[in-house]
A = this chain, B = another copy of it.
Amino acid sequence: SKANEPAPAPPIVHYYMNNLTTSRNPVENQETVLILTPLARFYQEYWDNLLKLSYPHDLISLGFIIPKTKEGNAAYTALQAQVTKTQSGTKSKRFKSVTILRQDTESPLQSQSEAERHKMENQKARRAAMAKARNSLLFTTMGPTTSWVLWMDADIIEYPPNLIQDLAGYDVPIVAPNCYQRYYNTEKKANEIRPYDYNNWVDSPTAKELAAKMGKDDILLEGYAEMPTYRSLMAHMYDASADPGTKIKLDGVGGAVLLVKAEVHRDGAMFPAFPFYHLIETEGFAKMANRLNWESFGLPNYLVYHYNE
């Protein structure tokens, strides 16, 4: 279809929000899932995993937002090729709809190397820009029939095909699996795994004290030695020998993989691009949801994997 030419809208549509469920049995109840991905780089494994999702694809809509950078152009081309292939291929694999947004703002940081983007002084501007990108994507793609929103970063390249059913099965407003990374341990000469996403945490008295002393525009960041928060990080709670279904309450969440009941967003929970209780982006989202009386949970023993650059 042509750029910026909207599909012809039906003249009148009525929706009874009562009839829209978000339940423990989403497949049975034909609940629609919107998978949202801010995408700066395209990984084939990301797409392959989406295709392997066992949730009925005709209940899944996909939404992407891609930055206006050279890297974004390449990602766009690669994504487009896969989307076209899938949407014209086997019927059962086709998704309900795909929306691709090209951002109109310049990226504050051109370099996207893992080292560069994790530098503390780059985090505030970078995460504010990410928050705005996530909000644009969310506000633009969520529709009246969306029951669930699954946030999925573009560099998540491994998870079980039952991911959606597994996460929805907890029947909680917001739920995050534990995001790890595979790597080669050169000392032990073995393939191992290590924590990747440090944004899933339980608050600490230290972090609260730090926040209380901060200027109104300062933010607390997790995972930096310069600013020890002593929060309990879900990344460190993984236990291969424990109950794989363990669920804990979280105060901050990451957006790498995050299942959210659509009503949480509909109540107004978004990703603050400004310091909100000294938190920003996905961590600020958990706090905002909390102010709207929605709780966040984490699954320490349910692993999903981030690409290793």
Residues of A within 8 A of B (CB): 1, 3-4, 6-7, 9-20, 61, 68, 80, 83-84, 87-88, 94-104, 131-132, 135-136, 138-146, 265-268, 270-274, 291-292
Contact = CB atoms under 8 A, between A and B. Distances in A.
Contacts of A146: 140
Q: State the number of copies, please.
A: 2
A90 to B, nearest CB: 13
Given A98-B11, A272-B268, A16 B4 contact: yes
Contacts of A291: 274
Given A10-B97, A141-B144, 4 more contacts: A3-B14, A4-B145, A6-B144, A11-B87
Given A4-B145, A9-B96, A136 B14 contact: no
A267 B6 contact: no
A178 B91 CA distance: 54
B17 A7 contact: no
A63 to B, nearest CB: 9
Nearest to A270: B268
Q: Closest 3 CB pairs between A and B? A: A9-B97, A135-B268, A17-B104
Among A3, A15, A95, A139, max chain B CB count under 10 A is at: A139
Contacts of A12: 1, 83-84, 87, 97-98, 100
B3 A19 contact: yes
Contact of A10 (B1, B270, B271): B1
Given A7-B7, A12-B87, A145-B6, A139 B265 contact: yes
A95 B146 CA distance: 24
B10 A7 contact: yes
Among A17, A96, A271, max chain B CB count under 10 A is at: A17
Contacts of A271: 268
